[in-house]
Amino acid sequence: MKDNISNSKIQSYRSEMMAAYKKEVSLPYLSDFDVVLTSDEAYQIQKHLVQEVSENDTIVAYEAGMTSEGSQKKFGATQPLAAARFASGLHFNTTEIKISEFKNPILETEIGYRMRSEITKKVTLSTVKELVKEIVPMIEIPDIKHPDMSRLTQKDMIATNGAGAVIILGEPVNADVNINEEIITLALNKEEISRGKGSDSMGNQWTSLAWLINKILDQGYPITPEHILMTGTVGQITQLTKGSYTATYGALGTIEFTVT
């Protein structure tokens, strides 16, 4: 992708954003710098961020975000967004999370996919399912570091790599499940706080997965069997609080974790 972000205002934004990102403090808004970007330009800024972080970290997953009509409407968007996730934020089933390590954490139940082999060519809805080796129940804990959500746009989110922080992996299962029909619930201290269905993401998990693969390839990132592809929120987004959580994924099993 050609780099079109040499404008001085954009460079100032990128410099301040990266400094804030590395210090883990509140992130600036594009509007603070009177910057209006195309989606491609926002992804170019994201890629610079990902490349810098990758010098000391490893990409372990890619995620589709804003995969529902409601979330897109909230941010004035017409399509999902894609972002990378890193090994430093990777946790596993029964982990303990410290809430003090976040600024404004939210909680999402998601579904991940590992592929049978490296993906180098774009896929279609009719071909993507046969490329999947296994399906992985997942939790994501994004950390919203923009202090005023009312000012936040999708392009702010794209440029800052989608507020990624922590992902929790459950045990992978065989891909031969009717994933769109699986009911996924999340309970806090045994009280249900979220309920969704696989098809919540773009109306079809396979549509969301195909979109994500093609978007990641557009950005020039590798997709290997070691990477996990996350297709977006299933159920309701909730605020992270202290307590004991259990996420139930039907045929995919459960994830349990504690927040202290």
DSSP state of 26: P
Domain span including residue 94:
58-259
CATH number for the domain that contains residue 82: 3.90.850.10
Q: Is residue 35 part of a domain?
A: no
Q: How many domains would you assign to the chain?
A: 1
What amino acid occupies position 113?
Y
User: Which residues contact residue 192 at a Cβ distance below 8 angstroms, ignoring those fewer than 6 apart?
Assistant: 185, 186
CA–CA distance from 193 to each of 69, 181, 185, 188, 200 (Å)? 21, 19, 8, 7, 16
Query: What was the pLDDT predicted at 2?
Result: 47
Q: Is residue 3 part of a domain?
A: no
What is this structure's pTM? 0.94
Q: Is residue 7 part of a domain?
A: no
Query: What was the pLDDT predicted at 138?
Result: 98
Query: What was the pLDDT predicted at 220?
Result: 95
Contact 177, 251 (CB under 8 A): yes
Q: Is residue 136 part of a domain?
A: yes
Positions in the chain whose pLDDT score sits under 70: 1-6
Taking the C-alpha atoms of residue 14 and residue 248, their distance in angstroms, rounded to an integer, is: 40
Q: Hey, what's the torsion of the CAs at 64, 70, 73, 79, to 10 degrees? A: 30
Query: What was the pLDDT predicted at 1?
Result: 44
Query: What was the pLDDT predicted at 72?
Result: 83
Taking the C-alpha atoms of residue 69 and residue 203, their distance in angstroms, rounded to an integer, is: 10
Angle CA(173)–CA(61)–CA(231) in degrees, nearest 5? 65
Q: Is residue 18 part of a domain?
A: no
Query: What was the pLDDT predicted at 159?
Result: 96
Q: Is residue 232 part of a domain?
A: yes
Taking the C-alpha atoms of residue 64 and residue 233, their distance in angstroms, rounded to an integer, is: 9
Q: Is residue 6 part of a domain?
A: no
| Helices (H), ranges, 134-220 | 154-159, 205-218
Q: Is residue 38 part of a domain?
A: no
Contact 83, 61 (CB under 8 A): no
Q: How many CA atoms lie within 13 A of 176 on its CB side?
A: 0
